[in-house]
């Protein structure tokens, strides 16, 4: 078999692999949004069967033959990147027994329903046994992948290829010190920032959420907006769906969750159509993905300019809601507040939530923390970092869906995304002198075009670190993010 024929076979085979992954994602979206509650057991069997089929496709023995045939071939940049990603996935998947992959799919599908019920009941003990099982399965998978190496690195590779635990600890550890210092200085400030007042109807919030999604570039012909307990974006390429949630006393929850998920969605929708059902036709990593949601939500969406636009629109729709002018509204939107929920946290404290989870899950994977002790460890760390105790499990250890579905190694990518967003915003601001003027009109076209050129169109063509480095001109650090946060909140709180 010549290299040209082998590459064609690889590309054709992985069209099916990618398509099966997208079907699995659609089933996951359905489970989180409109699936009947009584279908949970049946859905777990569907997911298990689909995973068996997908695993057999991903580990087909012919892939090794095709990869051998293209070794050393004269491939163009796109073909070489596609082969690199196929090889990486094949080598990883081949290390994981099919029975284990199927069991993980079955148990995590069931665990998601158990978590939801435990969260509603506020009872961690009801979730403890199945989480113990999920953790054991993921540790078994990590051991198969690591083959004697670092277990957490093996899991992290699924979400941020090339990143290692020691490097991540250093990068995020430096971030934590600066955030704790800034939070302390804000807490000592005498600045008084009011809250919004009134009730904001579901229908009116949904209308503005649709407007915001459109303003931030969401292509409705390839997506839809639904509602879920935990907002998320699902899908890829030409079918990318988002969810949000509504609190009639807190419209910002809906609005900024929507903008956040649109950041993920526009990344997927912006990938070059040439990459289609290939390994390149997706976001390169969860850290880079998160950078796209965070830069839209925070640096753009919570800017003084854009909040001025949003203030005028909310006034038109809701009338008087207790805030008299755009400057006061900007301060309200960015107010540091006491709270428990990661997804509702302000920019300063958000990463402290992530670092808590990062440290706890590393300890669980290393065998230094048992699931039975997780709730106590969470509560202790939370009070130390935030200065007040967790009031109930739903606001603490049970608030996130991630561990129930086996996403261990995922949490640190949220903070990586913030770090990357800090770098991207600094570079974007230098390239777009009219950025703030545009945002004041609710116009994000230039910003989205910049992101499309630097990030979106490339999909997974480059490695994560290379993607960001090419966009900003140097290896990423936490310095731009900390500088942005200190400048912004120093101004708001008159530090």
Q: What element of type H or E holds 236?
A: strand 233-236
Please indicate, yes or no, if residue 103 is contained in any of the structural domains. Answer: yes
Between CA 278 and CA 288 the distance in angstroms is 19
132/247 same-domain check: no
Residues 411, 357 contacting (CB under 8 angstroms):
yes
Q: Residue 234 belongs to what domain range?
A: 165-492
Residue 215: half-sphere exposure toward Cβ, Cα within 13 Å: 26
Task: Provide the pLDDT confidence category of residue 213 given band limits of 50, 70 and 90.
Answer: very high
Task: Work out the end-to-end distance of the chain between its first and last CA atoms, rounded to an integer number of angstroms.
Answer: 69
Residues 261, 244 contacting (CB under 8 angstroms):
yes
240/309 same-domain check: yes
Please indicate, yes or no, if residue 18 is contained in any of the structural domains. Answer: yes
247/388 same-domain check: yes
Q: What element of type H or E holds 1?
A: none
pTM of the entire predicted model: 0.91
Please indicate, yes or no, if residue 140 is contained in any of the structural domains. Answer: yes
Residues 229, 245 contacting (CB under 8 angstroms):
yes
CATH number at residue 398: 1.10.1370.30
Burial class (CB in 10 A: 0-12, 13-18, 19+), 446: middle
Per residue in 73-102, pLDDT (tens digit) is 999 999 999 999 999 999 998 898 989 988
Tell me what the mean pLDDT of segment 299-322 comes to: 97
Listing from the earlier edge strand, what are the strands of the sheet with 225-227? Answer: 225-227, 239-244, 233-236
256/356 same-domain check: yes
Which residue, of 149, 183, 208, is where some domain finishes? Answer: 149
Looking at the chain, the whole-number percentage of residues with pLDDT higher than 90 is 83
97/235 same-domain check: no
Please indicate, yes or no, if residue 155 is contained in any of the structural domains. Answer: no
The length of the chain is 495
Task: Provide the pLDDT confidence category of residue 306 given band limits of 50, 70 and 90.
Answer: very high
Looking at the chain, the whole-number percentage of residues with pLDDT higher than 70 is 100
Residues 253, 246 contacting (CB under 8 angstroms):
yes
324/252 same-domain check: yes
4-39: b (≥16 Cβ within 10 Å) or e: eebbebbbebbeebbebbbebbebbbebbbebeeee
Query: What are φ and ψ of residue 242, in 5° steps?
Result: -125, 155
461/430 same-domain check: yes
317/175 same-domain check: yes
Per residue in 397-438, pLDDT (tens digit) is 999 999 999 999 999 999 999 999 999 999 999 999 999 999
When divided into structural domains, the chain yields a total of 2
Sign of CA dihedral 394, 257, 348, 197: negative
Copy the structure tokens of residue 12: 């054709």
Q: Is 290 annotated as a binding residue?
A: yes
Per residue in 149-189, pLDDT (tens digit) is 999 999 999 999 999 999 999 888 878 888 988 988 998 99
Residues 278, 14 contacting (CB under 8 angstroms):
yes
Please indicate, yes or no, if residue 79 is contained in any of the structural domains. Answer: yes
40/172 same-domain check: no
* pLDDT exceeds cutoff 90 at 230: no
Which residue, of 99, 114, 149, is where some domain finishes? Answer: 149
Q: Which residues contact 374 (CB under 8 A, 6 or more apart)?
A: 124, 128, 131, 360, 364, 397
The average confidence (pLDDT) of the chain is 94
Per residue in 344-362, pLDDT (tens digit) is 889 999 999 999 999 999 9
93/44 same-domain check: yes
pLDDT for residue 283: 95
Between CA 404 and CA 219 the distance in angstroms is 31
142/12 same-domain check: yes
Which residue, of 149, 179, 209, is where some domain finishes? Answer: 149
Q: Which residue has the tokens 């009801």?
A: 126
131: nearest Cα among 343, 351, 342, 369: 369
pLDDT for residue 134: 97
Please indicate, yes or no, if residue 160 is contained in any of the structural domains. Answer: no
Q: Is 260 annotated as a binding residue?
A: yes
How far lies 337's CA from each of 349, 350, 390, in Å? 9, 11, 15
For β-strands 225-227 and 239-244, DSSP reports them as parallel
Copy the structure tokens of residue 369: 């923390």
pLDDT for residue 184: 87
Q: Is 289 annotated as a binding residue?
A: no
122/265 same-domain check: no
Per residue in 112-159, pLDDT (tens digit) is 999 999 999 999 999 999 999 999 999 999 999 999 999 999 999 999
Residues labelled as active-site residues: 261
Please indicate, yes or no, if residue 157 is contained in any of the structural domains. Answer: no
């Amino acid at each position: 078999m010549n290299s040209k024929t082998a590459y064609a076979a690889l590309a054709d085979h992985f069209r099916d692999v990618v398509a099966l992954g997208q079907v699995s994602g659609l089933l996951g979206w359905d489970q989180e949004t409109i699936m009947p509650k009584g279908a949970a057991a049946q859905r777990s069997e569907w997911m298990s069967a689909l995973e068996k089929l997908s695993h057999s496709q991903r580990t087909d023995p012919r892939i090794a033959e095709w990869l051998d045939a293209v070794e050393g071939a004269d491939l163009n940049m796109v073909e070489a990147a596609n082969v690199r990603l196929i090889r990486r996935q094949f080598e990883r998947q081949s290390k994981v027994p099919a029975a284990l992959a199927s069991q993980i799919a079955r148990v995590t599908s069931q665990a998601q329903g158990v978590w939801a019920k435990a969260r509603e009941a506020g009872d961690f003990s009801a979730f403890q046994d199945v989480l113990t099982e999920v953790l054991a399965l993921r540790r078994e998978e990590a051991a198969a992948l690591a083959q004697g190496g670092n277990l957490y690195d093996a899991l992290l590779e699924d979400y941020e290829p090339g990143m290692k635990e020691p490097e991540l600890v250093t990068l995020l550890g430096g971030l934590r010190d600066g955030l704790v210092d800034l939070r302390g200085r804000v807490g000592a400030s005498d600045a008084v920032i009011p809250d919004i007042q009134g009730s904001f109807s579901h229908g009116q919030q949904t209308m503005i959420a649709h407007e915001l999604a459109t303003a931030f570039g969401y292509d409705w012909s390839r997506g839809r907006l639904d509602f879920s307990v935990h907002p998320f974006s699902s899908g890829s390429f030409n079918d990318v769906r988002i969810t949000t949630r509504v609190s009639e006393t807190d419209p910002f929850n809906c609005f900024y969750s929507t903008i956040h998920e649109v950041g993920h969605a526009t990344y997927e929708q912006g990938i070059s159509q040439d990459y289609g059902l290939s390994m390149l036709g997706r976001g390169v990593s969860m850290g880079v993905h998160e950078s796209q949601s965070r830069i839209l939500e925070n640096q753009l969406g919570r800017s003084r300019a854009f909040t001025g636009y949003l203030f005028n629109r909310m006034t038109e729709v809701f009338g008087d809601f207790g805030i008299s002018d755009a400057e006061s509204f900007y301060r309200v939107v960015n107010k540091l507040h006491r709270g428990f929920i990661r997804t509702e946290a302000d920019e300063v404290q958000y990463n402290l939530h992530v670092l808590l989870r990062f440290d706890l899950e590393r300890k669980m994977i290393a065998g230094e923390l048992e699931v039975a002790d997780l709730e106590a460890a969470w509560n202790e760390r939370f009070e130390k970092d935030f200065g007040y105790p967790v009031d109930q499990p739903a606001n603490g250890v049970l608030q996130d869906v991630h561990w129930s579905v086996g996403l261990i190694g995922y949490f640190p990518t949220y903070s990586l995304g913030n770090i990357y967003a800090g770098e991207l915003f600094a570079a974007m601001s230098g390239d777009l002198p009219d950025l703030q003027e545009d945002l004041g009109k609710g116009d994000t076209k230039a910003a989205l075009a910049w992101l499309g050129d630097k990030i979106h169109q490339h999909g997974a063509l480059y490695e994560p670190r290379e993607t960001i480095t090419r966009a900003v001109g140097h290896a990423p650090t936490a310095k731009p993010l900390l500088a942005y946060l200190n400048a912004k909140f120093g101004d708001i709180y008159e530090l």
